[in-house]
Amino acid sequence: MPIPSRTAHASHLAAEIATQPDDWVRARVTANTHRDVLPRPGEHVAAIGCGTSLFMARAFAALREESGLGTTDAWPASRIRDRDYDRYLVICRSGTTTEVVEAMRRMPAATPRTVLCASPRTPVLDLGDPVLIDEVDERSVVSTRFATTALAILRHHLGQDLTAAIDQARTVLAEDPRRSLAAVRHAEQITFVGMGFAAALADESALKLRESCRSWTEAYPATEYRHGPIGISAPGRAVWGLGPLDARFAADVAATGAHLEHRDIDPMAELVRVHRLCVLRAADLGLDPDHPRNLSRSVMLDR
């Protein structure tokens, strides 16, 4: 029996999406408070996570290297490498994910490790220097504000000014999504693209729609779109760009008949638009976005 349709305001997901601009403002204070345990200029850093947290780790790695602050790798917790790192940065909402806990226990004891987590009294907090942000913990299985606030903390720490991103996110949340997202609301398929840290947020965008409303989504670096992924584009489908795109990109998408969704705003604010589409499409399909099929808040494996 299908789950009754829920309005955007009835889901925890919708409520958690709406707090993000204010969460990102507070993230600056958090970054300043914990600056001594966050990656320092010149350190060789490994950022790790699983799922959404991995995409935030990848986004941070791209931004840190682009800023010239030091070599930064991003690994799934299950595939972490030993490369004489100066610091590990761990992102884990639940604090109980099996692969993350096991990875932290394998890390060299002498190497500092910092943990961004939303859940107090969880194992990861005892395995590193904790940055607990339980004010952005979530009741929805689908993570939104924890992930973007973790990234906002790290962006503030890198010295980035998020004023524009915060204002843009507020603008997004003030819009009627039925109008602002009309062109992608019923798209049969969506391919997300981006460059730099936006490539990781493109992956995250695709994951959000798969999780919340079982949508057919893909994600690629924008420069890879022409090397195969363009073959899936067609009328009734969409390509969604996050961040700056090549001047010829729009023409390439137009030639396929697909719709190009793109705004010239910060990719993190654009991700909020994707979050709102998740709620909208879940309601259209009569799905509960707080409890997606086959998913749980934390992956805890029976070893």
What whole-number distance in Å separates Cα of residue 173 and Cα of residue 82?
42
pLDDT of residue 82: 84
* Rounded-to-5 percentages of helix, strand, coil across the chain: 45, 15, 40
pLDDT of residue 252: 97
**Could you state, in chain order, the average pLDDT of each consecutive group of 10 residues for the chain (303 residues)?**
41 96 98 98 98 98 98 96 94 95 95 97 97 97 97 98 98 98 98 98 98 97 97 98 96 98 98 98 95 77 67
pLDDT of residue 301: 65
pTM: 0.94
Burial of 116 (0-12, 13-18, 19+ CB in 10 A): buried
Distances (CA, A) of 132 to 28, 30, 74, 90, 136: 14, 9, 21, 12, 10
pLDDT of residue 1: 30
The SS3 assignment for 130 reads strand
pLDDT of residue 299: 61
> What angle in degrees, to the nearest 10, is found between the helix axes of 197-213 and 52-66?
170
pLDDT of residue 54: 98
What's the start-to-end Cα distance of the chain, in Å? 35
Q: What is the pLDDT of residues 14-31, one digit of tens each?
A: 999 999 999 999 999 999
Residue 236 neighbours by CB distance under 10 Å? 12
Distances (CA, A) of 99 to 103, 111, 298, 301, 302: 6, 19, 10, 8, 11
Query: Taking a C-beta distance cutoff of 8 angstroms, is the pair 204, 62 a contact?
Result: no
